[in-house]
Structure 1
Amino acid sequence: MRMEVLFRLKTVSVAVSMLCLHLMSFSSAQVHLQDCPSTHDLLNSLRQVEKMLAVQEESYQQGLRSLRKKISALHNSTMAILKAGKNASCPKPETPVHGRRLGRVFGVGHEIHFMCKPGYELIGPRTRLCLESLKWSGQQPMCKHFNSTDNSLAAFSPDEPSSSSFSFPGSAALSASSSSSSSVSTLLPSSPTTSSPSSSIRPSHCTHFLGSTRCTCDVGFTISGRDNNICTDIDECRLFPLGQPGRLCIHQCINTAGSFHCHCPAGYDLTRDGRSCTDIDECENRMNNCTGEQMCVNTNGGFQCVTVECPEMKNATYLKTSPTRCERNPCMLGDKACAQAPNSISFHFLSVVSNMSAPRVLFRVSAARVLGDTLRFGLAGGRGRGHFSVQRSSRQTGTLLLVTPIKGPATLEAEVEMSELERSALLGRYLTKVTLFVSPYEF
């Protein structure tokens, strides 16, 4: 490239010289010899340009060599990683006695963590890193028993627990509490349970470096004390009580050392989020004691065994045509008392939660076909009539409404009557008995 540039510069120089000589041959041309560069000046300019190009070319070659070295080094390091493969890992580290190791991946760049049982303090690093040399950073830690010879806080140190009851408060993650536990089921939902004082106070983890001391606590504990040498358990249940926005548990919160549990009442299971409760369907899961003559009705937190029987009336007889329906037998001609009795009686069972908001639609009654010119809907009777109301929602449909909240546990009944008339003459009555099972809980 440099030779090509020099050749072009020389060609331009010769062209400029010939042009000056040609112009001087005409007397009319206003060109003087001193206005044209001499051949010596042109050659000097060419030499300077040649030196400049040589310097630039040398710099370019040096940069190219440096780039090739970097590419080669990158290629070699990449190949070394590929050759090492996924099996490149540090040896499995030991678990401290009376402690626990967190982390199952021992590859390069991965960390493992260590923690001790309550009553023990960690001596050494809490975290170790797998280095590229396939060795763990730092030294192997150990768990040392915390007693009166170690620190003045020994009075708060819990006794050494057995291995069967040992648990780690490593995080504030939620964990399910069995609803069948007899010791837990006696607790009231309004009173959160707290851990014992011996497990709620423990020494802090302090490190000394260059004359300064830094103390920390495990997750779920807050640091306190005059010298920041005490870790006190955070009672999450009292911070987020029941009935308050952001509550931790929908039913009952049980505080533990460094964490908490949510507990559900009998008849409920804890959901996957660890905070809510879901009803157990005892009827579907065959967890009931209803007989063959009874019908199992699942309720929120339990079940009911109900027996549907047709009523006995003086002037009318009924036949059970389905598990929840009774039909009146045909009346004798001219038997007005029999004709006034309901043509059919249906039975329905609903399960609702306590203090459910109102007004709310509970049930709808509809006529499949209309023989007369008028349909009337109303309440015929039942327990708890002050909580219910019946409204017409369409020409052939009436709606049973809950108009006031009901605090459970409670069992209420409402009888919805649909009357069919032709020119104000009664053609038939149809009765629907709705039984409401109200849960003691609001979920």
Structure 2
Amino acid sequence: CPGRQEMQNSLKQVQKLLSAHEASYLQSLRTLKKKINLLQGTAKQPARANNNTCPKLDAPANGRKLGKVLTVGHEVHFLCDAGYELVGSESRICQESLSWSGQQPLCRDSNECASAPCLNGGTCVDEVNQFSCICAKGWAGATCQSPVPTFAAAGALPAATTGPFVRPSRCTQVQGTTHCTCEPGYTISGRDSNTCTDIDECELFHNGQAGRLCLHSCVNTPGGYRCTCPAGYNVTRDGRSCKDIDECATRQNNCTRDQMCVNTYGGFQCVRVDCPRIRNATYVKTSPMRCERNPCPVDNKACSQAPNSFSYHYLSVVSNLSAPRVMFRVTAMRPMGDTLRFSLLGGKQARRHFTVQRSDRQTGQLMLVSPVQGPVTLEAEVEMSELEKRVQLGRYITKVTMFVSQYEF
């Protein structure tokens, strides 16, 4: 049997061996910890790059800004308050260069009196999306264009021949000959040179060589005429055509806070953008008009095949718009695969009026293929798919809603 001294020597050797192993183990742990920290630091760098944002945009004076997300690919929209018009970009996109597309917009006072529409010394009063004229003495009409009648002395006319559409003529004696004339807008009534009757300009010039007097409706007035427009329109400064009233900008709408007002020709629409509900995938709104898919679990293939994003756009067009015509373009900001594919989704109605064509490698365009008689609402969905060696990497859906008005002007 080994002696006591030999046992103590053996134990000391075992203790030294264990101490050496412990030191080596601690050194390995420190080395491993450094590598893990290095890997974590490397992994965080792309994340910081992805979190880079474009500079913050301010709302224009006398206007509003819609959209708070400042990362690449997101849009910010601008609106002006009532009585102001937008000058510059209506929407701006955060680009890969971390700069905004377009130019910073301004809200300019839409002074309807800037072109001096009131004639013959009339005073212009600027109103919301229109103007009115205070005419000088002796003039009348929407733009003070008509002289107020002044009658020369004449014999009293029978009651049946007096009224706003019948006037006495102005007669003078020249070398024994009587000459009778009528004020503008009237003509001598047959053989009776003492009576002037109103000219119905609406009937006389309904289909003249210069076109109709009024592009919508003409109303005959004593000595003249006036043009009228349907509800939702105002008469333009030339007095002949009609211009749309922007009920959204002038706040002449009943949209609630959770809805967005979309101006249409002759009216408005209150729309609410809700993210879609799709099985195995969830979406979150990243801007007023865009929803993006939340990250998918690694083993959830159905989620990864769902669309990556949905974007919503609303267009207002007049009735019987000429076709074929490009209505909307979809462009890939930063394609990841080797192929982009564009296609039209939806039923027979969408395919009857629309088609999708490629304009270049990264852009597809929604085409209107036939004129549409309004009023009607049309919807189309454009799908953009990214492929790598024919394997799908992502899908992006753009939903376009088109409000077609009843009238063509």
Q: TM-score, normalised by structure 1?
A: 0.56
Distance, in Å, in 2 between the alignment partners of 1:245 and 1:385 is 40
Aligned pairs, number: 266
1:381 Cα deviation after fit: 1.2
1:237 aligns to 2:202 (yes or no): yes
1:357-395: CA deviation from partner (whole Å, max 9, x where unpaired): 111111100001111111011101165331111110111
Partner residue in 1 for 2:293: 328
1:205 aligns to 2:215 (yes or no): no
Q: Is the CA contact (8 Å cut-off) linking 2:355 and 2:368 kept in structure 1?
A: yes
1:390 aligns to 2:400 (yes or no): no
1:104-136: CA deviation from partner (whole Å, max 9, x where unpaired): xxxxxxxxx9843xxxx422xxxxxxxxxxxxx
Distance, in Å, in 2 between the alignment partners of 1:374 and 1:339 is 18
Partner residue in 1 for 2:161: 156
Q: Structure 1 residues 222, 364: closer, same or farther in 2, change over 3 A?
A: same
1:234-266: CA deviation from partner (whole Å, max 9, x where unpaired): 111122337985221222111101101111222
Distance, in Å, in 2 between the alignment partners of 1:262 and 1:122 is 31
Unmatched segments (≥5 aa) in structure 2:
1-135, 140-146
1:410 aligns to 2:383 (yes or no): no
Q: Is the CA contact (8 Å cut-off) linking 1:115 and 1:122 kept in structure 2?
A: no
SS in 2 for 1:407: coil
Unmatched segments (≥5 aa) in structure 1:
1-99, 104-112, 124-143, 149-153, 159-198
Q: Is the CA contact (8 Å cut-off) linking 1:242 and 1:252 kept in structure 2?
A: no
1:146 aligns to 2:122 (yes or no): no
1:430 aligns to 2:378 (yes or no): no
Q: Structure 1 residues 268, 101: closer, same or farther in 2, change over 3 A?
A: closer
Partner residue in 1 for 2:252: 287
Distance, in Å, in 1 between the alignment partners of 2:188 and 2:210 is 26
Q: Is the CA contact (8 Å cut-off) linking 1:415 and 1:434 kept in structure 2?
A: yes
Q: Give the ranges of 4+ consecutive aligned residues of structure 1 lying more than 6 Å apart after TM superposition.
A: none
1:309 aligns to 2:314 (yes or no): no
Counterpart among 212, 237, 259 of residue 272 in structure 1: 237
Q: Is the CA contact (8 Å cut-off) linking 2:149 and 2:183 kept in structure 1?
A: no
Distance, in Å, in 1 between the alignment partners of 2:168 and 2:208 is 34
1:90-105 equivalence runs, <5 A: 102=138
Counterpart among 304, 319, 322 of residue 339 in structure 1: 304
Q: Structure 1 residues 321, 267: closer, same or farther in 2, change over 3 A?
A: same
Q: Structure 1 residues 338, 101: closer, same or farther in 2, change over 3 A?
A: closer
Counterpart among 142, 152, 159 of residue 122 in structure 1: 152
Distance, in Å, in 2 between the alignment partners of 1:145 and 1:293 is 70
Counterpart amino acid of 1:286?
Answer: R
1:426 Cα deviation after fit: 0.9
Q: Is the CA contact (8 Å cut-off) linking 1:101 and 1:115 kept in structure 2?
A: no
1:249 aligns to 2:279 (yes or no): no
1:136-183: CA deviation from partner (whole Å, max 9, x where unpaired): xxxxxxxx68343xxxxx42212xxxxxxxxxxxxxxxxxxxxxxxxx
Partner residue in 2 for 1:189: none
Q: Is the CA contact (8 Å cut-off) linking 1:384 and 1:414 kept in structure 2?
A: yes
1:205 Cα deviation after fit: 2.1
Counterpart among 365, 372, 387 of residue 399 in structure 1: 365
Which is further off, 229-238 or 303-312? 229-238
Q: Structure 1 residues 397, 248: closer, same or farther in 2, change over 3 A?
A: same
Q: Structure 1 residues 251, 243: closer, same or farther in 2, change over 3 A?
A: farther
Larger proportion of helix: 1
Partner residue in 2 for 1:376: 341
1:211 Cα deviation after fit: 3.1
1:408 Cα deviation after fit: 0.9
1:46-65: CA deviation from partner (whole Å, max 9, x where unpaired): xxxxxxxxxxxxxxxxxxxx
Larger Rg: 1
Partner residue in 2 for 1:164: none
1:324 Cα deviation after fit: 0.7
Q: Is the CA contact (8 Å cut-off) linking 1:242 and 1:250 kept in structure 2?
A: no
Q: Structure 1 residues 244, 426: closer, same or farther in 2, change over 3 A?
A: farther
SS in 2 for 1:228: strand
Counterpart amino acid of 2:253?
Answer: N
Superposition RMSD in Å: 2.3
Counterpart amino acid of 1:146?
Answer: A
Counterpart amino acid of 2:256?
Answer: T
Q: Structure 1 residues 114, 357: closer, same or farther in 2, change over 3 A?
A: closer
1:440 aligns to 2:409 (yes or no): no
Counterpart among 265, 269, 284 of residue 319 in structure 1: 284
1:301 Cα deviation after fit: 1.4
Which is further off, 381-390 or 251-260? 381-390
Partner residue in 1 for 2:191: 226
Distance, in Å, in 2 between the alignment partners of 1:209 and 1:268 is 51
Distance, in Å, in 2 between the alignment partners of 1:297 and 1:439 is 13
Partner residue in 2 for 1:259: 224
Partner residue in 2 for 1:25: none
Q: Structure 1 residues 378, 244: closer, same or farther in 2, change over 3 A?
A: farther
Q: Structure 1 residues 438, 242: closer, same or farther in 2, change over 3 A?
A: farther
Q: Structure 1 residues 115, 312: closer, same or farther in 2, change over 3 A?
A: closer
Distance, in Å, in 2 between the alignment partners of 1:243 and 1:329 is 63
Distance, in Å, in 1 between the alignment partners of 2:403 and 2:294 is 31
Q: Structure 1 residues 242, 225: closer, same or farther in 2, change over 3 A?
A: closer
1:275-303: CA deviation from partner (whole Å, max 9, x where unpaired): 22221211112221111100111111111
Distance, in Å, in 1 between the alignment partners of 2:251 and 2:272 is 18
Q: Structure 1 residues 101, 338: closer, same or farther in 2, change over 3 A?
A: closer
Counterpart amino acid of 2:194?
Answer: N
SS in 2 for 1:351: strand
Among all aligned residue pairs of Structure 1 and Structure 2, give the percentage whose two residues are the same amino acid. 64
